[in-house]
Structure 1
Amino acid sequence: MIFEEFNPNIHNSRQVAELVFDVDMRVFRRIFRSKEDAINAIEKKLLAKYEYDLQNPDCDSKFNFYVIYHKDIPSKLLGIVLVSKGENFNFLDDALFYFKKLKLMQAFGLTLVKFVDKRTLSHINEDDYYLAEIATKTSERCQGIGKSIMQHIIEEAKEQGFKRVVLDVDLKNNKAFKLYESMGFKIFDKKSFKLGRVEKDTYSMEYVFPSNNV
C-alpha cells in the first residue's frame, strides 16, 4: 500500500470525499439535506484546503491527510486517513475557513459537523499520534485493508517517538471497535452528544507504547 498526501491533480477528489462522508455518515445525513449535498461540501472543502496549503507552504501544520492506494494499481483507491501529530483541531479556525471559502449552506453544515466533533472526540496531548479519520472503500472491506492501515499507523507513530496512538470510534460501529480492540487498543473515555436530530456517541481508545519507546 502507498500512503500519499491528498493531491486533486492525482487523486479522484470525488471518491475521496465519499470516503470522508463514510467516516461520519450518520451525522452528515442528519445535518445536510442529502448525501449528495454533504459530499459536494466535503469535496469543496478538500479542494479549498489543498489550494490554501499550496499558497501557504511555510505553514507548520501537524495534520496530514493521506490517500491510500494499491502499489501496483495507482488508480485503485483503498482508503483515506487524517492524522494529527500532537495537535487538537481548532473549531473557530476551521469554521472561519469554511465561511471564507465555501458557499453559505456548505459552510454552515460543515461547521455543525465540526461542532459535534468538538464534543465527542478526544483531547490530544502533544505526544499523541491521533487518528482523526479512517475509511476504506466498501469493495475493499473484509480483506484485511483496515488492519494493514492500522499496523502502518502504529508503526509510524512508534518510529516517530509518540507515546500513544489515539482514535475515536462510534459506539454503533461494532466492526471497527472489534478491530481496534483486537490490535491492542483500550477504551479510556466515552463521550455523548445530542442536539435535536443529531446524536453521536463515541469511545475514545488508545494504544500505549512501552515507556522505553520514547
Structure 2
Amino acid sequence: MKFLKLDINKHDLNKVSELIYETELTVFKQLLGKNESEAVQNIKKLVKSGNNSFGHEHIHVVVDDDENMLGILVSFCGRETSLWNDFKEYSKVLRFYNFLKYAVKGTLISELLTASVGKNDYYLSNIAVDPQFRGQGIGTYILESAFKAAEKKGCKRVLLDVTLNNEGARRLYERFGFKVYSKKDPKLIFKGKGTLNMEHFVD
C-alpha cells in the first residue's frame, strides 16, 4: 500500500468525492445538494478548486500496487485552513440557496459539533475505506500515516470527531491512544447527532 498526496490530474476525483460523501451522509445531504449526485459533484468541485477544507491539498489517497484506490484521508493543520477561505470557495461552487444553508447550518455544525482546531493541531476531518477493501488493515494504515504527517508538519496534537452512537469507531481510535476530551450534544438543534471530540498527543 502507498499513502500519497492526491493528484487531481492522476487520481479519480469522482471516487474521492464519493468516499468523502460516505463519511458524513446526513450533513452532506443537508448542505451540499438536493440529492447524492449533486452533493458528490459539489464535493468534487471543492476538491478540485482547493483553498478550502476539502481542497486537494488536504487529501491523501491510499492505493495498492495496481493503483486501485483503497481509501482516503482529509486532514490539515489548524493554521492551514480558515472559515473565510471556506466561505469564498463554497460561494463559488454552491447554488445560492445551498450556500445560504451552508453559511448558517454549516457554521453551526462547525461550532457546536466538531472539535475546535488550534494552529498546531492536526485535524482528521474525513477517513474512508472503500467498502470492498474493508477488513484489510487499511484504516489502521491511514491512522499510522496520519500520525507521521502530523509529526512532519510539527503539530502537537491530532484531533478527530466520532458520532455518539459509533461505538466501533470510538473503540478503534482508543486502541490508537485517542482519548475523549469533550462531548458535544446540542439536542435542541441537532437531535441525535452529537459527537465526541477525541485527541492524541504527538510524541
Q: TM-score range by the shorter chain?
A: 0.7 to 0.9
Please tell me the residue identity of whatever aligns with 1:127. Answer: N
1:149-202 CA deviation, whole Å, 9 max, x = no partner? 111212333455432211111223222212101111100001134676786311
Which whole-Å CA distance do the structure 1 matches of 2:190 and 2:197 have between them? 23
1:8 aligns with: 8
CA contact (8 A) 1:30 1:198 kept: no
1:69-148 maps to which residues of 2 (within 5 A)? 69-70=63-64, 72-74=65-67, 76-87=68-79, 89-108=81-100, 110-111=102-103, 114-115=106-107, 116-148=109-141
Unaligned runs of 5+ residues in structure 1 are 54-60
CA contact (8 A) 2:77 2:119 kept: yes
CA contact (8 A) 1:44 1:102 kept: no
Structure 1 pair 136–105 and aligned structure 2 pair: CA distance change class (3 A): farther
1:17-52 CA deviation, whole Å, 9 max, x = no partner? 111101211222344422112112111222222xx6
Q: C-alpha root-mean-square deviation of aligned residues, in Å?
A: 2.7
CA contact (8 A) 1:27 1:199 kept: no
Please tell me the residue identity of whatever aligns with 2:74. Answer: L
- Structure richer in strand, relative to its length: 1
- Residue identity over aligned pairs, in percent, reads 30
The more displaced of 198-207 and 141-150 is 198-207
1:21 aligns with: 21
1:203-214 maps to which residues of 2 (within 5 A)? 203-209=196-202, 213=203
Is structure 2 residue 59 aligned with structure 1 residue 65? yes
TM-score, normalised by the number of residues in structure 1? 0.78
1:62-119 CA deviation, whole Å, 9 max, x = no partner? x62212211x111x11111122224374223312221134443554455456322343
Please tell me the residue identity of whatever aligns with 2:10. Answer: I
**How many Å apart are 1:16 and its aligned residue?**
0.6
Which whole-Å CA distance do the structure 2 matches of 1:48 and 1:161 have between them? 26
Structure 1 pair 105–136 and aligned structure 2 pair: CA distance change class (3 A): farther
Please tell me the residue identity of whatever aligns with 1:45. Answer: L
Give aligned pairs, total.
198
CA contact (8 A) 2:182 2:196 kept: yes
Q: Secondary structure at the match of 1:73?
A: coil
Structure 1 pair 196–160 and aligned structure 2 pair: CA distance change class (3 A): closer
Q: Secondary structure at the match of 2:194?
A: strand
Unaligned runs of 5+ residues in structure 2 are none
Q: Secondary structure at the match of 1:43?
A: helix
